[in-house]
Amino acid sequence: GSVCQNAEPTAKDFHFVNVLSESMSEYYKNETARAQKFRECFKNYFDINFPCIEFNDGSCTDGTWFPNPNASYIMNAKVKKEPGTGGNPHIQNIAYYKQYFLQNQDLAETFRLPCFLIQVDRLELNIPTAIYANKIIVDSYDYILSLACSRSRFEKFARIFCALKTAIVLLQKYYDNPMPESHASQREFPYPNSVKMDDGEEIRFEYHSALGPLVFVVDTLENSQNLPQKFVTYHDTIKSAMDQLHSAGYVHGDLRSNNIMVRYLNTTSLPAVCFVDWDWAGEHEQVKYPISINPAIIRHESARPQGPILIEHDQFMVSRLVFKDSVCVKR
């Protein structure tokens, strides 16, 4: 997200969007002809080989990019002549990704980074990503590019493709270097397999199976004594960090427990707090929530999709994470 927001499109990026829009606006007799034209546009813009590959079952992609011959593919395209003809390109693209993995188990070690799934329904283009861990995980990009829209939207499209081109260059560099050693089973687990203690000793460990989430079920204590100092300190430190952000005129927008990291540098120090996931952050009352907000997460009553993100929204979420004179809970 941040790469796309900070991308500065050049004249070449704008030219590509214009050419792609004009090319996909033309009439084609069949899907193959449209896919061939789309492939030509991508090859010229990204300066890559973008061939079709055929699978054992006879199915064929509409363009596939390999960073090198010994790596898995990182970008794959599926093109439809018209919307609704010949099946769903999103489902087909995922099926290609699965089929490629099944046929190339010897390359399992190279399935480490997400693959861009380019999908075209005539003038509608979408770019979800997929990655293989213990199963195929697909993250859909909720913004569909309509290549027939007004030229006033071309800047956003050019910015998206500029960011994608930057990603392609970085991926090429990554796969051109020797792959870090890793067991194939680590696709199913976090990468860290050691921890360094305060005295410098390194403790190594290995993963055997995934554990379920850690859940605490508690009731509020009536007439309870004050919280242990550790929890009070957590609350004060988190609130202090949030107040510093707000005093500068900025809001975070998503201060859930998942986005607040707390740790002690040693047994006598105050906790260090770090807020992560700044995708929604911006100026108070100026930045807005995205068009889609998870309804399962309790937010301030005035928080709504496309509505302004306010300081009181951050304060409300933090108040639900930790509160004094009771117990430390995640409600």
Residue 328, pLDDT score: 39
Based on the domain organization, do 161 and 256 belong to the same domain? no
Based on the domain organization, do 8 and 123 belong to the same domain? yes
Residue 266, pLDDT score: 66
Based on the domain organization, do 69 and 169 belong to the same domain? yes
Q: How confident is the model at residue 87 (pLDDT cuts 50, 70, 90)?
A: confident
What is the rounded distance in angstroms from the CA atom of residue 120 to the CA atom of residue 128? 12
Q: How confident is the model at residue 270 (pLDDT cuts 50, 70, 90)?
A: low
Question: What is the widest separation between alpha-carbon atoms in the chain?
Answer: 77
Asked whether residue 192 is assigned to any structural domain, the reply reads no
pLDDT at 46 exceeding the cut of 70:
yes
Residue 150, pLDDT score: 62
pLDDT, tens only, 306-331: 999 999 999 999 988 854 333 333 43
Asked whether residue 204 is assigned to any structural domain, the reply reads no
Distances (CA, A) of 80 to 33, 59, 93, 119: 10, 14, 11, 8
Based on the domain organization, do 154 and 258 belong to the same domain? no
Residue 188, pLDDT score: 62
Asked whether residue 22 is assigned to any structural domain, the reply reads yes
Asked whether residue 289 is assigned to any structural domain, the reply reads yes
pLDDT at 221 exceeding the cut of 80:
no
Based on the domain organization, do 235 and 119 belong to the same domain? no
Instruction: Map residue 271 onto helix, strand or coil.
Output: strand
Asked whether residue 113 is assigned to any structural domain, the reply reads yes
The DSSP-derived string for 92-144 is HHHHHHHHHHHH-GGGGGGTTS-EEEEEEETTEEE--EEEESSSEEEE--S--
Based on the domain organization, do 17 and 163 belong to the same domain? yes
Asked whether residue 130 is assigned to any structural domain, the reply reads yes
pLDDT, tens only, 157-195: 888 899 999 989 888 888 888 877 666 556 666 667 788
Query: Quick one: what percent of the chain has pLDDT higher than 90?
Result: 33
Asked whether residue 140 is assigned to any structural domain, the reply reads yes
pLDDT at 128 exceeding the cut of 60:
yes
Number of domains in the chain: 2
Based on the domain organization, do 243 and 110 belong to the same domain? no
Residue scoring higher pLDDT (216 or 44): 44
Based on the domain organization, do 171 and 259 belong to the same domain? no
Contact status, residue 69 vs residue 175, Cβ threshold 8 Å: no
Residue 323, pLDDT score: 41
Q: What is the mean pLDDT of residues 40-48?
A: 93
Based on the domain organization, do 109 and 247 belong to the same domain? no
Residue in the structure block whose two tokens are 């202090």? 240
Based on the domain organization, do 41 and 154 belong to the same domain? yes
Q: How confident is the model at residue 243 (pLDDT cuts 50, 70, 90)?
A: very high
What is the rounded distance in angstroms from the CA atom of residue 37 to the CA atom of residue 40? 5
Q: What is the CATH number of the domain that holds 259?
A: 1.10.510.10
Structure tokens at 99: 């089929």
Based on the domain organization, do 239 and 92 belong to the same domain? no
Picking from 114, 147, 176, the residue at the C-terminal end of a domain is 176
Based on the domain organization, do 271 and 148 belong to the same domain? no
Asked whether residue 213 is assigned to any structural domain, the reply reads no
Q: What is the CATH number of the domain that holds 58?
A: 3.90.1570
Domain containing residue 248 = 229-321
Q: What is the mean pLDDT of residues 17-32?
A: 90
